[in-house]
C-alpha cells in the first residue's frame, strides 16, 4: 500500500526545517514510524522532543533524519495540501447542492465536493457526517478535534435523509450525541428551502439544537440559492420578500428566548434574508462576535462597523480622482450610503458604485462572492466614463489567488483596462483605506495557498489570514 506523503512547498528561513536541510519538493512520509495522513498528524507527531523523520527527496531517494527539538519548536515547513491522503469526497446528492448547479465546463477545483472532517476542523468547512466511520469518530475523540462545522438541514431524520438523498443522514441525532460525549463542540448550518425544511420543520430544528447548547456553538440559517444551471428534478424555489420576513420573525423569537436565557443569540440569519425583506441587518452586538463570519453571517454588519470605525474627514485629493466600486446586486443597498459618505469626507473624490448582474450563474445569484471576471469586465465596459481606479470585493477571488470563479485571472482583467489601477478590498476598513489613500493602497489578496504546521496543533492556511 502506498503511504501518503506531505509535500513541502516552502521552508522558512532560520527555521528547524531549514536547519535540517529540508527543501521544497521533499515529502514527509512518517514521523517516529507513524504514517502522516495530514497536517494534523504532523502537528501531534512533532510535539515530541525526539524525532525520526522519514523524508523522500525529489529524486526519489529516502532518508531518515533523527534529531532532538524543544517541545514547542515549530517545523517551519509549508505543505501543498492540508491532507496527504486525498480529500474525503461527499457522497450525498442534496436537493440544493451548489456544485451540481455549476456549468458543465469550469475550473476543476469548483467541482470538488468535500465532506472531510479534517477540513472542517482546520478551516471551518461544513460536513454532513454521513461518511463518518468508527475510526473517524475515534480519531476525533482521541485528538479532540473541536470545534467542527456540521450541515444539519433538518433534525427530522426522515426529512434529512430525503434532502441529502442518503439513508445515513437519518443518524444525525446519534452522531451529535457521540460528539458531545467526546466533549467536541460544533457550529451548525441549515440551508433553508421554502416549503421543505422551513416553517414547522425549522421550528423543530431550532428547538432540538438549542437544547444541545453549549455543545452547539452557533446555528447559521442561509437561504437556498439557485443558479440557471440547476438540473435536479426536485422542485425548489427561492424566498421572496414575504417569505424572508416570515423567517426573520420566526427566528427573532428564538433569538430573544436564547438571549434572555444565555445572553447570546446562538441563531443567526444570513444577510440575504434581511436584504430581501428590506430590513436593516441587526446591530453588531446581536452577532456575539461573529462566530460564522466566514459563512457570510453578519458580513454586512461587520463591513459597516469597520467602515464607521475608521472614517474621518481628510484633506482629499488635489486632482479629481474617479474610482469605481464593484459589488454584487444584493450589496448595493448597504454600500451606497458608504460611497456617498466617502465622497463627502474626501474632497476631490468621485465614486461610482457598480452592482454587477451575475449573468454567469444567473441573475438570481446576486452576492459579491460569486461574481465572475467576465461579468465584471462586461459591466465596466458598458459603464464607460472616466475612471482612474477600480475596487473589487476580495471575496470574488479565490482565497489566496488572483483567480475568479470563471478562471479569468486578475491579470487578465487588468490587461483589459491597462491604464487603470485595480485593487481588492476585503473589509470596511480596507475600503476606507483604498478610497482615502488611493495612491499608496495596494491589493490585500496575497498569492499563495500553502499550509503550515504550528506547534500548538492549530492550522491556518497562510493566504486566509
CATH code for position 110: 3.80.30
Place of cell 522532543: 49
Which of 52, 85, 118 is at the close of a domain?
Answer: 85
Q: Are 304 and 249 in contact (CB under 8 A)?
A: no
Q: Is residue 269 part of a domain?
A: yes
Q: Are 445 and 325 in contact (CB under 8 A)?
A: no
- Distance (Å, rounded) from C-alpha 295 to C-alpha 221? 10
Both 293 and 317 in a single domain?
no
Q: Is residue 49 part of a domain?
A: yes
Residue-level pLDDT at 383:
94
Both 20 and 157 in a single domain?
no
Q: Is residue 446 part of a domain?
A: no
- Distance (Å, rounded) from C-alpha 154 to C-alpha 141? 25
Residue-level pLDDT at 175:
97
| The C-alpha cell that represents 303 in the structure block | 463591513
Establish how many alpha carbons lie within 13 A of residue 380's alpha carbon, considering only the half-sphere containing its beta carbon.
24
Q: Identify the CATH number of the domain in which residue 375 sits.
A: 3.40.50
Q: What is the mean pLDDT of each run of 10 residues along the chain (465 residues)?
A: 86 94 95 94 92 94 94 89 92 91 70 88 94 94 96 98 97 97 96 98 98 98 94 94 98 98 97 96 96 92 96 94 96 95 97 96 90 96 93 85 88 94 95 96 57 38 33
DSSP 427: S
Residue-level pLDDT at 442:
87
Both 43 and 116 in a single domain?
no
Both 318 and 420 in a single domain?
yes
Q: Is residue 180 part of a domain?
A: yes
What is the number of domains present in the chain? 3
Q: Is residue 339 part of a domain?
A: yes
Q: Identify the CATH number of the domain in which residue 23 sits.
A: 2.30.42.10
Residue-level pLDDT at 398:
74
Which of 27, 50, 85 is at the close of a domain?
Answer: 85
Both 289 and 319 in a single domain?
no
Residue 35's SS3 state is strand
Both 359 and 383 in a single domain?
yes
252 by Cβ neighbours in 10 Å (0-12 / 13-18 / 19+) ranks as middle
Place of cell 459618505: 341
E strand or H helix at 414, and its extent? Answer: helix 410-416
Q: Quick one: CA dihedral 395, 286, 277, 342, positive or negative?
A: negative
Residue-level pLDDT at 397:
87
Domain residue limits at 49: 6-85
Both 420 and 284 in a single domain?
no
Both 246 and 126 in a single domain?
yes
Task: Give tens-digit pLDDT for 118-139.
Answer: 999 999 999 999 999 999 999 9
Residue-level pLDDT at 1:
60
Q: Is residue 454 part of a domain?
A: no
Q: Is residue 227 part of a domain?
A: yes
Task: Give tens-digit pLDDT for 336-375.
Answer: 999 999 999 999 999 999 999 999 999 989 999 899 999 9
Task: Give tens-digit pLDDT for 221-269.
Answer: 999 999 999 999 999 999 999 999 999 999 999 999 999 999 999 999 9
Both 319 and 228 in a single domain?
no
Residue-level pLDDT at 463:
33
Contacts of 157-162 spanning 24+ positions with Cβ under 8 A: 159/196, 159/197, 159/201
- Distance (Å, rounded) from C-alpha 145 to C-alpha 38? 13
Q: Is residue 461 part of a domain?
A: no
Give the global pTM: 0.90
Amino acid at each position: 500500500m502506498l503511504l501518503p506523503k506531505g509535500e513541502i512547498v516552502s521552508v522558512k528561513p532560520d527555521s528547524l526545517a531549514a536547519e535540517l536541510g529540508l527543501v521544497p519538493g521533499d515529502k514527509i512520509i512518517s514521523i517516529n514510524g507513524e504514517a502522516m495522513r495530514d497536517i494534523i498528524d504532523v502537528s501531534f507527531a512533532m510535539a515530541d522532543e525526539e524525532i525520526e523523520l522519514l523524508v523522500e527527496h525529489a529524486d526519489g531517494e529516502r532518508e531518515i533524519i533523527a534529531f532532538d527539538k524543544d517541545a514547542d519548536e515549530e517545523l517551519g515547513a509549508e505543505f501543498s495540501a492540508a491532507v496527504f491522503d486525498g480529500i474525503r469526497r461527499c457522497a450525498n446528492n442534496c436537493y440544493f447542492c451548489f456544485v451540481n448547479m455549476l456549468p458543465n465546463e469550469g475550473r476543476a477545483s469548483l467541482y470538488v465536493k468535500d465532506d472531510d472532517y479534517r477540513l472542517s476542523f482546520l478551516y471551518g468547512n461544513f460536513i454532513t457526517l454521513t461518511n463518518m466511520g468508527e475510526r473517524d469518530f475515534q480519531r476525533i475523540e482521541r485528538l479532540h478535534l473541536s470545534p467542527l462545522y456540521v450541515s444539519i438541514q433538518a433534525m427530522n431524520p426522515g426529512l434529512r435523509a430525503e434532502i441529502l438523498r442518503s439513508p445515513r443522514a437519518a443518524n444525525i441525532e446519534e452522531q451529535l450525541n457521540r460528539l458531545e460525549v467526546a466533549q467536541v463542540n460544533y457550529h451548525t448550518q441549515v440551508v433553508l428551502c421554502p416549503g421543505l425544511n422551513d416553517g414547522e420543520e425549522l421550528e423543530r430544528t431550532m428547538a432540538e439544537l438549542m437544547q444541545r447548547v453549549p455543545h452547539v456553538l452557533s446555528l447559521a440559517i442561509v437561504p437556498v440559492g439557485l443558479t440557471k444551471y440547476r438540473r435536479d428534478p426536485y422542485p425548489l424555489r427561492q424566498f421572496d420578500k414575504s417569505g424572508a420576513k416570515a423567517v426573520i420573525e420566526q427566528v427573532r423569537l428564538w433569538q430573544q428566548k436564547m438571549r434572555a436565557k444565555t445572553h447570546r443569540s446562538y441563531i443567526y440569519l444570513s444577510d440575504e434574508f434581511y436584504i430581501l425583506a428590506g430590513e436593516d441587518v441587526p446591530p453588531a452586538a446581536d452577532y456575539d462576535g461573529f462566530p460564522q463570519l466566514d459563512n457570510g453571517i453578519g458580513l454586512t454588519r461587520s463591513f459597516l462597523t469597520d467602515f464607521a470605525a475608521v472614517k474621518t474627514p481628510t484633506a482629499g485629493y488635489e486632482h479629481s480622482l474617479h474610482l469605481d466600486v464593484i459589488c454584487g446586486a444584493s450589496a448595493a443597498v448597504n454600500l451606497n450610503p458608504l460611497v456617498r459618505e466617502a465622497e463627502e469626507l474626501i474632497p476631490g473624490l468621485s465614486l461610482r458604485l457598480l452592482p454587477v448582474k451575475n449573468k454567469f450563474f444567473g441573475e438570481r445569484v446576486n452576492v459579491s462572492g460569486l461574481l465572475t471576471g467576465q461579468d465584471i469586465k462586461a459591466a465596466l465596459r458598458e459603464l464607460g466614463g472616466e475612471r482612474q481606479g477600480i475596487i473589487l470585493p476580495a471575496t470574488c477571488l479565490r482565497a489566496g489567488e488572483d483567480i475568479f470563479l470563471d478562471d479569468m485571472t486578475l491579470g487578465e482583467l487588468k490587461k483589459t483596462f491597462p491604464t487603470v489601477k485595480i485593487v481588492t478590498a476585503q473589509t470596511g476598513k480596507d475600503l476606507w483605506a483604498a478610497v482615502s489613500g488611493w495612491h499608496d493602497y495596494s491589493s490585500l489578496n496575497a498569492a499563495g495557498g500553502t499550509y503550515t504546521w504550528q506547534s500548538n496543533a492549530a492550522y491556518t492556511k497562510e493566504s486566509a489570514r
